[in-house]
Structure 1
């Protein structure tokens, strides 16, 4: 089993295959420094090839999911220096390395999406900036009544560049609403987030939301891992391709996946009205 020891994340995996990932910088309102997003990328990359992990619950310690990017660290880092107008470094050279930095950041957050294990995220309190990028890469979003969401980047003089602008329109399906919240950086409450489809359910307390997420992840973990990872992979592929392309790709995928013993196990268990037991991936 991979070593899930991190500085900014608390990670555990239950015997049933449910991994719990907790962002753990409550003293900084879980603001993302480089270590945080790097560890998220590493963690979810490891999950993808860990057969003991069947589903994931993502959450955060403290009263806020995340305050967004750690601006103090960002300004003190090479990211901040790249913006220094007094720097004598050639603009093209600064731009070259800054692009690589952005691509690394994108890859770390995208690791949540390309990890074939479904991810259920629980949002409490504020979810700002990079938090929106992160939850947009998750499969299912659950919120508490006090949760609120802000696409914050325009307020610090930039366009969001780690996934929100690419994923949010496909999650919500209301182009006018998406553009409004991205242009204005206004605060969106949990009730509105539920209404537009950003989150699938809202609970009164963090405890209730966590229980719902863990129950859902447990149900997912009990299914055939071959079926679950295939379903997530095909949903992601089909979202980004035409219906025809999605169908053709699914046919190729299932040409292999239909050879799994899980299908026979599931059918027999269903007929006997028994809970099926599936080996790990």
Structure 2
């Protein structure tokens, strides 16, 4: 296996696209993906000039989940000794951290899903900010169908995105959640007729986000992440502190003036992050 990443990153102005590029394997996620995703997302975030990311997959299916090669070699499956169990625990955390980077980057991530989105693919889109799907798309907690508990994010994030009874249904029965039902339940923001319409809608949404003030967008994303795991009172206090730190009079006055003159506002990019 070469070191070539199983995804491609392209740019259209302030919008980036990360496209899973193993259509012959239904974009199953091999170790190159798990090792490469975090650094790739950090690199996109570091420059401060990416304002939205569209996450999609080539071919018929968005993502078939974990590639079987991830389980080969015994590094993950070995749990006979205490040392092996410790290594298993760390390996699982590394996989979790890769997907958590989708939440940590300062820009929103839009998942554009066609066909199957199962197993680790569902873990991945659960960590995204927004989700679009084609009419034929479906989501499934595939792990339970192969004797496993899902452990890379679905069981932790989905109960905050879907009714818990529905998540339990998916996790216990291993059944599929159709795109139409997912939209009715609020998990999917919109259902599009085909892949072409899906990509167009995702880019339109990303470009609309990119036209907003980046500081306000990044602050809003951070506020959602904080509020998810804290009380309302804690979230309000956090928001008051955050607003004081990102308040940008130039952005606010620029937006107000643009509205008054029916023009397009211009906002500065986020500040680049220091290189490690």
Equivalent residue in structure 2 for 1:188, among 156, 177, 182: 177
Q: State whether structure 2 residue 137 is matched by structure 1 residue 155.
A: no
Distance 2:144 2:209 in 1: 37
SS in 2 for 1:13: strand
Query: 2:9 aligned with 1:11, yes or no?
Result: yes
Q: Once superposed, what is the RMSD of the aligned Cα atoms?
A: 1.5
Match of 1:200 among 179, 183, 189: 189
Residue of structure 2 aligned with 1:121, choices 106, 111, 123? 111
- Pairing of 1:19-98 with structure 2 (within 5 A): 19-80=16-77, 82-83=78-79, 91-98=81-88
> Are the equivalent residues in 2 in contact too, given 1:6–1:39 (CA < 8 A)?
no
For 1:107 and 1:96, the matched residues in 2 are separated by 17
Correspondence 1:216 to 2:205? yes
Q: CA deviation at 1:273?
A: 2.1
Aligned CA distance change for structure 1 residues 114 and 98 (closer, same or farther; 3 Å): same
Work out whether 1:233 is the aligned partner of 2:222: yes
Show CA shifts across 1:14-48 (max 9, x none).
Answer: 22x00000011111111111111222222222222
How far 1:267 moved relative to its partner? 1.8
- Counterpart contact for 1:136–1:168, Cα < 8 Å: yes
Q: CA deviation at 1:260?
A: 4.7
Figure out how many residues of one structure are paired with residues of the other and give that number: 268
- Give 1:72 shift: 3.6
TM-score between the two structures when normalised by the length of structure 2: 0.93
Q: Give the Cα separation in 1 of the matches to 2:208 and 2:5.
A: 30
Flag the 1:264–1:127 CA change in 2: closer, same or farther, 3 A: same
Measured after TM superposition, the shift of residue 261 of structure 1 is 2.1
SS of the residue corresponding to residue 166 of structure 2 reads: helix
User: 1:199-251 CA deviation, whole Å, 9 max, x = no partner?
Assistant: 11101100001100000000100111111111111111112211110010011
Aligned to 2:90, which of 93, 96, 100? 100
1:88: which partner in 2?
Answer: none
Q: Write out the 4+ residue segments of structure 1 that deviate beyond 6 Å after TM superposition.
A: none
Q: 1:101-143 CA distances to partner (integer Å, 9 max, x unpaired)?
A: 0111000000001112001111101011001100000011000
User: CA 1:260–1:99 in 2, change beyond 3 Å: closer, same or farther?
Assistant: farther
CA–CA distance in structure 1, aligned partners of residues 21 and 210 of structure 2? 25
- Checking the alignment, whether the CA contact within 8 Å between 2:76 and 2:87 is kept in structure 1 is no
- TM-score scaled by length of structure 1: 0.91
